[in-house]
Amino acid sequence: MTALLSVENVSKTFSFRSGWFGPLTTLDALCDVTLSVAPGETLAVVGESGCGKTTLGRSIVRAQPVTAGKVTYRPPGHDPVELTALDKRAMKPWRRDIRMIFQDPMSSLNPHMRVFDIVAEPLRIHRLARGQELEERVAGVLEKVGIPRDAMGRYPHAFSGGQRQRIGIARALVLDPKLVIADEAVSALDVSIQAQVLNLLEDLKDEFGLTYIFISHDLGVVNYIADRVVVMYLGHVVENAPTEALFERPRHPYTEILLEALPIADPARRMRRAKTVRGEIPYLGSRPTGCPFHTRCRFAEDRCRTEKPALRKVGETEVACHFAETLELKGAYGDAPATRTFAKA
């Protein structure tokens, strides 16, 4: 199947001066990132703060230009479009197809606008509807996400965190997009609300035939929602695998560490951590040579310090590690599913 969107060798470098007359410093937020997402797939991008997952999302929607590489979008029934080659005007129609949901539902909704106007704005900008039709479409999409029609006239502050996130989702969906990029869309929510929003995202995906790029740091959520997972570290893709393969048998030592650090809500599975988590993420500006992960890797050898591993195929997995074939890494699935008795009181 051809990919709906593919990202090829994309790099993004930020440069800034420290102080007015200081030297120009550069930071490589994305290094040679390649990945693709198939139609109907949910692709998760995971990693810790500063790994470049948000920069990747923003680069795909062209919220910022990339330094190198290309992003290609293949709309169904249309020739492929190289988004990175388009200017602002030429990009505009494609913005209807690729939409974004943000993490913090408070700061991503304009507090001066009523909910109706927030959700209607994309339709107005793209001149897709007006008057009665506009109102119907807005009310329709709000209803789909569970916001009643009579709440349209209210301002964002009148809603709870979960409802605000629903409004953000409605704003993304009102243009009938093909691809939705959800950047930490459930991270700021309480668990019970998080579950509601996750279920909503799944239902909407089926109903509208959406494709998701789901950016998250929470591997529990990712295991639940994703078909495939891309693990990023310091701006590099280190592993790209189907969800089950990744959780069953990670191929990159960093993935193993992430899985091991994940707290599992079952005290019976406690104490399985073998202290492999060590060190801290290096500062982006002083990225190690060779494999970006070698400073924290328990398998690192001389080769890792000098030679950067390329992403290559091992089994179903794409992985960037010199020793991927030989490493025996531990996954996150326990031997047996947790048993919990929900005694009906």
Partner 1 sequence: MPPTPMADKPLLKIEDVEIAFSSPDEADIVAVRQVDLSLYPGKTLCLVGESGCGKSVTARAVLRLNDQNSLIRCGRIRFSPSDGETVDIAALKPDSLAMRKIRGNQISMIFQEPMSSLSPVHTVGDQIDEMIMLHEGLKPKDARERTVALLDQVGVPGPRERANSYPFQLSGGLRQRAMIAMALACKPNLLIADEPTTALDVTTQAQILDLLKELQEEYGMAMLFITHDLGVVAEIADEVAVMYLGDVVEQGNVFDVFRAPSHPYTQALMRSIPTIARKKERQRLSPIKGTVPSAKDRPEGCAFTSRCPYAFEPCAGMMPGRTSVSGNHVARCHLLTENARKAEVPA
Q: What is the DSSP letter of 238?
A: E
Least gap, CB of 192 to partner 1 (angstroms):
4
Least gap, CB of 330 to partner 1 (angstroms):
13
Least gap, CB of 162 to partner 1 (angstroms):
6
- List helix spans (H) across the chain: 53-60, 88-95, 115-125, 131-144, 161-173, 191-208, 219-225, 243-248, 253-261, 302-306
The number of angstroms, rounded, from the C-alpha of 279 to the middle of its chain's C-alpha atoms is 25
Tokens of 92: 């505009």
Based on CB atoms, which residue is closest to partner 1, 39 or 282?
282
Least gap, CB of 302 to partner 1 (angstroms):
23
Based on CB atoms, which residue is closest to partner 1, 109 or 257?
257
Check: CB of residue 35 under 8 Å from CB of residue 7.
Answer: yes
Write the single-letter amino acid at 121. Answer: E
- Count of beta carbons in the 10 Å neighbourhood of residue 93: 12
Alpha-carbon distance 268 to 293, whole Å?
Answer: 31
Closest CA to 122 of 102, 144, 103, 98: 98
- The phi and psi torsions of 281 (rounded to 5 degrees) equal -65, 130
Three-state DSSP at 287 gives coil
Based on CB atoms, which residue is closest to partner 1, 94 or 233?
233
Based on CB atoms, which residue is closest to partner 1, 12 or 296?
296
Alpha-carbon distance 213 to 44, whole Å?
Answer: 6
Based on CB atoms, which residue is closest to partner 1, 24 or 191?
191
Based on CB atoms, which residue is closest to partner 1, 191 or 302?
191
Binding site for partner 1 (CB under 8 A): 48-49, 160, 162-163, 190-196, 198-199, 202, 217, 219-221, 223-225, 243-244, 247-248, 257-258, 260-270, 273, 275, 277-278, 280-281, 332-334, 337-345
Least gap, CB of 223 to partner 1 (angstroms):
5
Establish how many alpha carbons lie within 13 A of residue 204's alpha carbon, considering only the half-sphere containing its beta carbon: 26
Least gap, CB of 193 to partner 1 (angstroms):
7
